Amino acid sequence: MKMYLMTPGPTPVAPETQLAMAQPIIHHRSPQFMEIMGEVREGLKYLFQTEQEVLMFTATGTGAMEGAVANTLSAGDTALVVDGGKFGERWTELCNVYGVKVNRLAVEWGRAVDPKAVAKILDAHPEIKAVLVQANETSTGVQHPVKELAAVTKTRPGTILIVDAISALGGYELPMDEWGIDVLVAGSQKAMMLPPGLAFAALSGKAWEFVKKSTLPKYYFDFTKQLKSQGKNQTPYTSPVSLVLGLQEVLAKIKKYGLEKVYAHNRRLSAATKAAMAAMGLALYSKDYPSQVLTAVEAPAGVDGQKVVSKLREKGIWIAGGQAQAKGKIFRIAHMGFIDTVDLLGTLGGLETVLNGLGYKVEAGAGLRAAQEILTKEAGA
């Protein structure tokens, strides 16, 4: 059975990327690898839209999140955490581990944070050193307004904005330098079209000043050590050679294609998916700023969202269910990276069949027609 991977991570990996990673292993201290690292470093700057060095670690994205806390803050510091989903909760958990005080801004799941609320809290609590937020809250399918949040923090010299872009980077616009994002972290297995195993972090000049003052313990995720090593086209410890070869291929492909075309492709698939859900009478879980890289959908009344996921899996179509308080209530379909129109249409057709089988009657082809109208119109635009 052919597998359609439509989860919001891991996402499909292109055959040419798989071939790049299948090349013979080279030594991570060799001149050949150092040359590759030099190319990768420049490609990452293009992807992050920054002049700053993009640090690379052998880890999942959570490793970069932990590093962002451990390298910019100190025990007893206060951070404002935007908590609007499962991954917003992770920021609080990381701060707790390191003794960073948390001022938690609870946001209803399915909603985006109000930048004015953040500004109000920062005005009332000038001791806050960092605002921690997701660019794209993967658990709810909501994009937080990062550009507006950056406008709030960049005028405050004592506060930095730390953004988890693990499911956002490479999926839609997040120009780090232009917007004034201070710390941007990402992971390889989502819009970057690679297997899990690489984590990334880029810091503004303002954030690097915070690094100088941080007293929290760090060893493997020591940003200063990593920066120094990458300046020599190396990493402090053994490099994930095969993943870096895949990264080299992906970054070259993105540069050749152009970021705006990549973003336009994702917007197109997103619009088609959301039109299909509406045609099937399904409501989005995300009420504000619906994500451009995945669609979170409310399961219809009387239907268990987890059964939608399991029944599709029987057909070889892998989507994601809800997490924590949203488990059983929603399902999530990704449309980022190496996912194309055929993958999407096959998934939508399978979803129609599954919903009918679970007792929610959908007119055959209703979602497909709505999606195809969007895809055909935009393809011919």
CA 126 to chain centre: 29
CA–CA gap between residue 295 and residue 286 (Å, rounded): 8
Overall pTM > 0.85: yes
User: pLDDT at position 206, please?
Assistant: 98
* Pair 67, 223: CB distance under 8 Å: yes
CA–CA gap between residue 68 and residue 112 (Å, rounded): 22
CA–CA gap between residue 190 and residue 331 (Å, rounded): 17
Question: Tens place of pLDDT for every residue, the chain, 381 residues?
Answer: 889 999 999 999 999 999 999 999 999 999 999 999 999 999 999 999 999 999 999 999 999 999 999 999 999 999 999 999 999 999 999 999 999 999 999 999 999 999 999 999 999 999 999 999 999 999 999 999 999 999 999 999 999 999 999 999 999 999 999 999 999 999 999 999 999 999 999 999 999 999 999 999 999 999 999 999 999 999 999 999 999 999 999 999 999 999 999 999 999 999 999 999 999 999 999 999 999 999 999 999 999 999 999 999 999 999 999 999 999 999 999 999 999 999 999 999 999 999 999 999 999 999 999 999 999 986 554
User: pLDDT at position 235, please?
Assistant: 96
Domain ranges of the chain: 4-8+258-379, 15-257
DSSP-assigned beta bridge partners for residue 81: 104, 132
Residue whose C-alpha is closest to residue 194's, from 47, 94, 348: 47
CA–CA gap between residue 314 and residue 351 (Å, rounded): 12
User: pLDDT at position 125, please?
Assistant: 98
- Tens-place pLDDT, residues 236-256: 999 999 999 999 999 999 999
Please report, as a single letter, which amino acid is at residue 370.
A
Please report, as a single letter, which amino acid is at residue 224.
T
CATH number of 15-257: 3.40.640.10
User: pLDDT at position 131, please?
Assistant: 98
What value does the mean pLDDT of the chain take?
97
DSSP-assigned beta bridge partners for residue 331: 297, 321
Q: What is the dihedral of CA 51, 57, 60, 64, to 10 degrees?
A: -60
In degrees, rounded to 5, the angle at the alpha carbon of residue 163 between the alpha carbons of residues 285 and 295 is: 20
**How many angstroms separate the first and last alpha carbons of the chain?**
35
- Identify the CATH assignment for 4-8+258-379 out of 3.40.50.300, 3.90.1150.10, 3.40.390.30, 1.10.10.1100: 3.90.1150.10
DSSP state of 325: G
CA 356 to chain centre: 32
User: pLDDT at position 377, please?
Assistant: 82
User: pLDDT at position 381, please?
Assistant: 43
Neighbours of 177 (CB within 10 A): 16
User: pLDDT at position 379, please?
Assistant: 58
Tell me if domain 4-8+258-379 and domain 15-257 are identical in fold: no
